[in-house]
Structures are given as C-alpha cells and as structure tokens.
Amino acid sequence: MRLLLAEDDADIARHTIARLAAEGYAVDHAAQGPETWDLGETGDYAAIILDLGLPGMDGLSILKRWRAAGVNTPVLVLTARGSWMERVDGFEAGADDYLPKPFRSEELLARLKALLRRSAATPVATRAAGRFVIDDAAKRVTFDGRMLELSPQEYRLVSLLIRERGRVLSPLEIASHVQGRDDDTAKNAVEAMIARLRRKTDPDAIETRRGFGYCVPDTAG
Ligand code: CA
C-alpha cells in the first residue's frame, strides 16, 4: 500500500517514513509544495499525510486544488499544536482527519489505519462525459471503450473537462488547473495539449467554442 508523506521537516520525515515502512507501507516523500501537489494529483496513493506548512505552496492550497480537481484520496493533515483555526480550515478544504504536532507515531498509525478502513468502505466511482469514461482511483481514461495513453498533464486536463462537462472552460482557466499557472506560455501549452488529445481520440471529442474555450458535452455514451 503506497502513501504520500508531504513534510519539509527532515527529522520528522525520516522518523515517520521509518515507522511507516516498518508497518509495511511504501512511502513517497515530498518536501516541497509544488512537488506535493503534482504527486498527489497524478500518483496513486491509498492515503496522503500532509503537513500544512510546506515551502513553495502551502498545504491548504494544495488540498483545495486536489479536491477541486476531483482527487478523493483520504488526507490526514498535520497541523501546528493548538491551532484550531488550521483544523477548521483543513476540514473545510477537504481533510479527512488531522493530527496536531508534535505527534507520536503510534497515534499517526492509528489514525491512518482508521482513515484507510473508512476509505476502503467507499465504492470507487467512475465518471462519464461525451465518449470519455474516467476512473479516478486507477487514473485511467477510456474513449469509446478504448484505453488512452495519457501523460499526467493530459490526464489532469481530461479529468477537468469531464468534471466540468457541459461548461466552456477558457484556456487560461484550464492552464491554472492543469499547470498551476495561467500565463501565455501555459495557455499555449494547453492549446497544444488539446490538439494532442484530439489526435488520440477524435477531432470532435473536445468542442471548441471560438473566442471562449473548450468543452466536453454533458452526455454519456
Ligand atoms: Ca512544515
């Protein structure tokens, strides 16, 4: 079972990884905000342990972005001791549980196991739009029943279009979700990605509303 640990404190990270590994978990470690965001959105994790104070992009923003992008991996948030505001903000952003620092690894393990039990009881959903079907847990997309080979960014883009099916998304809006920035370079990259996706699927799979943006129609099958 693979976990993501996002923690920039080297001592806490080392100690926690050793403890989790001893329990049989495989652990990917991220110490930077942007790296955490990317791994959490594209990786296949049973759960994520997320420190809120990360360099580059704070944990709450990362969590909000994941949830907005349809990432439903259970998240255990590590907060500063006594900071009840952080806990409230964390739950509102989509955290499943929290643990105040400093924590004992036994408590981390107990909470983690409870989180994994709860998520195992939740059925995995697929979503469909147009001729696309997406399986968020497996990170797979089919088009007309055929499995697509997608890069992580292409997956993110398709996932966004399917989640927002029926709505026209501007290239800049797509760029900010898919690439985390919304400048002209990112916008051009989005346009190139749309062209690649059309080649991989069908020229009509993603509609262009000239002057506005892109859209996958809100019809299944
Ligand atoms: Ca920190």
Domains and their CATH numbers in the chain? 2-120 (3.40.50.2300), 126-215 (1.10.10.10)
Q: Can you give the pTM of this predicted structure?
A: 0.63
Q: How far is the CA of 77 from the centre of ligand 1 (A)?
A: 11
Q: How far is the CA of 60 from the centre of ligand 1 (A)?
A: 12
Could you list the mean pLDDT of each consecutive 10-residue stretch along the chain, which spans 221 residues? 96 96 94 96 93 94 89 90 74 88 93 88 72 85 92 89 89 86 88 95 93 84 42
HEC assignment per residue over the chain: CEEEEECCCHHHHHHHHHHHHHCCCEEEEECCHHHHHHHHHHCCCCEEEEECCCCCCCHHHHHHHHHHCCCCCCEEEEECCCCHHHHHHHHHHCCCEEEECCCCHHHHHHHHHHHHHHHHCCCCCEEEEECEEEECCCCEEEECCEECCCCHHHHHHHHHHHHCCCCCECHHHHHHHHHCCCCHHHHHHHHHHHHHHHHHCCCCCCEEECCCEEECCCCEC
Q: How far is the CA of 213 from the centre of ligand 1 (A)?
A: 38
Q: How far is the CA of 12 from the centre of ligand 1 (A)?
A: 9
Q: How far is the CA of 17 from the centre of ligand 1 (A)?
A: 15
Q: How far is the CA of 157 from the centre of ligand 1 (A)?
A: 30
* pLDDT tens digits, one per residue of 59-75: 999 999 998 888 889 99
